[in-house]
Amino acid sequence: MRFALRRFGFFAVTLWAALTLNFLLPRLMPGNPALAMMSKFHGELSPQSLNALEILFGVNTHTSLASQYVSYLHQMVTGNFGTSLDFYPASVASVIGSAIWWTLGLVGVTTILAFLLGTGLGIVAAWRRGGRLDSLLPPVFVIASAVPYFLVAMVLVLIFGISLHWLPYLGGYNVTSDTPGFSLTFIGDVLSHAILPALSLLITTIGTWILTMRNTMITTLAEDYVRMARAKGLPGRRIMLDYAARNAILPNLTGFAMSLGFVVSGAILIEYVFNYPGVGYMLLQAVQGEDYPLMQALFLLITVAVLVAILVADIATALLDPRTRTAG
């Protein structure tokens, strides 16, 4: 229980830090970047929208920094992220709502696949220590970790999209011939558009899973109880899965949490190359369109998502591994 409280506490502190960072950044930049943008929209926004945006960016306010901060936090808590300037007059919240499902689908499914495939391969590689897989894997995936995410995406686009014409490589679905709905054609369209982006994300993120799993497996395999199990004559697969892998997976979970930041970066760049209509692509569009309210909200959303994932991973680790609970 104390452990959970401590983790929640950490979550709250980090959330507060992210909110404060979001608050301070536009105010710290030389020449408030929002100022020019705001004056462009001055005549078109309602007084409430204008006020909300002014609080978000600290423009035209004659109140102290502290009271701005309080109003800002109140706005954040009530979910008032302002009006989007690119998608005017839609509110930021509604705009994000349309994009978030695409990213959740892409990142969620790919992460699960990467986890399953990655840990599986890592287990096999560690078990067959010195085998072909094991000696091949580390250098291959060390190099793979250095490959920029967009390069993988571009190569896939070039091969499967442009040269072979096997798969579509732009957007989430075909905008001209399909309308969103639960029809079979639409779902098929969505799936076919998702294959290449998912594959790119899978290729770039699977390496960490394999390597971390392999490394922790190797350390675990050196443990006494494994040696004991071997001495007892238990079948190899049983030792591999029930004794070693189960214990080796735990550090993997924390590793997953740590690497989530990179999964997010990968998702943003891959969405950009494929013009996949998720929050990553929307963030980059907001940047290009100087839609600062949308940008801010997306950054907070991504941060909160990562935080929640880490919290969940931490609690899962605690539930599975009593040692962490007592270690505190």
Partner 1 sequence: MRRLTRFGVIIAAGLLAAACSSSSPSNTGAAAGKNSVLTISNENGALWTCGFNPFNGSDTLVSVGFVYEPLVYVNPLQNGATTPMLATSWTWGPGNKSLTFDIRQGVKFTDGTPLTAADVAYTFDLLKKYPALDLTGVWSVLSSVTQTGQYQVTLNFSTPAVPWFYYIADQTPIVPEHIWSKIANPVSYPDAHPVGSGPYEVNPCTPANITYTANPHYWQPGEPHIQTLKYPAFTSNNTANDELATGQAQWGAQYIPGIQAFYTSKSPDFHYWFPPVLNVALVPNLTNPLLSNVLIRQAMAYAINRPQVSNIGESGYEPAANQAGIVTPTYSGWLDTSQLASDGGYGYDPAKAKQLLAQAGYHLGSDGIMVNAKGQKLEFSVINIGDYSDWVADMQVISQDLKAVGIQVTPQNLTNTDYDADLFPGNFQLAYVEQQTIGPGPYYELNDWLNSADTAPIGKTAATNYERYNNAATDALLNQYAATTSTATQHSIVDQLEQVMLTQVPLIPVTEGVDWYQYDTASFTGWPTPSDPYAQPPVWAYPDNEQVLLHLRPR
Partner 2 sequence: MSIPLSLGQPAGEPRRLPSSHALARMGRAVRSNRKATVGAVLLLFFILVALFPGVIAHDNPSLDAYQPHLGPSTAHLLGTTAYGQDMFAQLVWGTRNVMIIAFTVGLATTGIAVLVGVAAAYLGGLWDSSLGVLTDVLLVIPLFPLLIIIAAYAHGGGTLLLIVVITVTSWSYTARQLRSQALTLRSRDFLQAARVRGERRLYVIVMEVIPTMTSLIVASFLTNALYAILFASSLQFIGLGDPNTVSWGTMLYWAQNNAALQTGQPLWAIAPGACIAVLGAAFALLNYAFDEIGNPALRPVRRRARRPELRTVPGSGRA
Is 231 a binder of partner 1 (CB under 8 A)? no
For residue 70, what are the contacts with CB-CB under 8 A and spacing of at least 6? none
Q: Is 72 in the site for partner 2 (CB under 8 A)?
A: no
In the complex, the smallest distance separating the C-beta of residue 287 from partner 2, rounded to whole angstroms, is 4
Q: Is 135 in the site for partner 1 (CB under 8 A)?
A: no
Under the binding rule (CB under 8 A), the answer on residue 10 touching partner 2 is yes
Q: Does 138 bind partner 1 (CB under 8 A)?
A: no
Q: Report the chain's terminal Cα–Cα distance, integer Å.
A: 10
> What is the chain's length?
328
Out of 9, 79, 180, 236, the residue judged to bind partner 1 by CB under 8 A: 180
Binding segment toward partner 1, per CB under 8 A, in 13-21, 162-170, 205-213, 320-328 = 162-170
Question: Helices in the chain by DSSP H: which ranges?
Answer: 2-28, 33-41, 47-57, 65-77, 92-127, 132-146, 149-156, 184-221, 224-232, 236-238, 246-274, 279-288, 292-320, 322-327
Taking CB under 8 A as the rule, does residue 130 contact partner 2?
yes
How far lies 186's CA from each of 4, 47, 84, 109, 172, in Å? 43, 41, 28, 19, 10
Q: How far is the CB of 266 from partner 2 (least distance, A)?
A: 9
DSSP 158: I
Cis peptide before 89 (omega within 30 of 0): yes
Cβ(166)–Cβ(123) below 8 Å: no
**139 CB neighbour count, 10 Å cutoff:** 9
Number of Cβ within 10 Å of residue 279's Cβ equals 29
Residue (130 or 181) nearer to partner 2, CB? 130
In the complex, least distance from residue 26 CB atom to partner 2, rounded to whole angstroms = 6
Would you count residue 122 as binding partner 1 (CB under 8 A)?
no
HEC assignment per residue over 20-38: HHHHHHHHHCCCCHHHHHH
State yes or no: residue 36 binds partner 1 (CB under 8 A).
yes
**Toward partner 2, which CB reaches closer, 187 or 241?**
241
Which two three-digit tokens encode residue 272? 């950009």
If the CB atoms of residues 243 and 314 are measured against partner 1, the closer one turns out to be 243
Q: Does 233 contact partner 2 by CB under 8 A?
A: no
Collapsed DSSP state (helix, strand, coil) of residue 83? strand
Asked whether position 135 contacts partner 2 by CB under 8 A, the answer is yes
Query: Does residue 93 belong to the site contacting partner 1 (CB under 8 A)?
Result: no
Is 254 a residue that touches partner 2 (CB under 8 A)? no
- Binding status of residue 113 toward partner 1 by CB under 8 A: yes
Give the binding site for partner 2 (CB under 8 A). 10, 13-14, 17-18, 21, 25-26, 29, 33, 129-130, 134-135, 138-139, 142-143, 145-151, 154-155, 157-158, 162, 215, 218-219, 221-222, 227, 258, 260-261, 264-265, 268-269, 272, 283-284, 287-288, 290, 292, 295-296, 298-299, 302-303, 306-307, 310
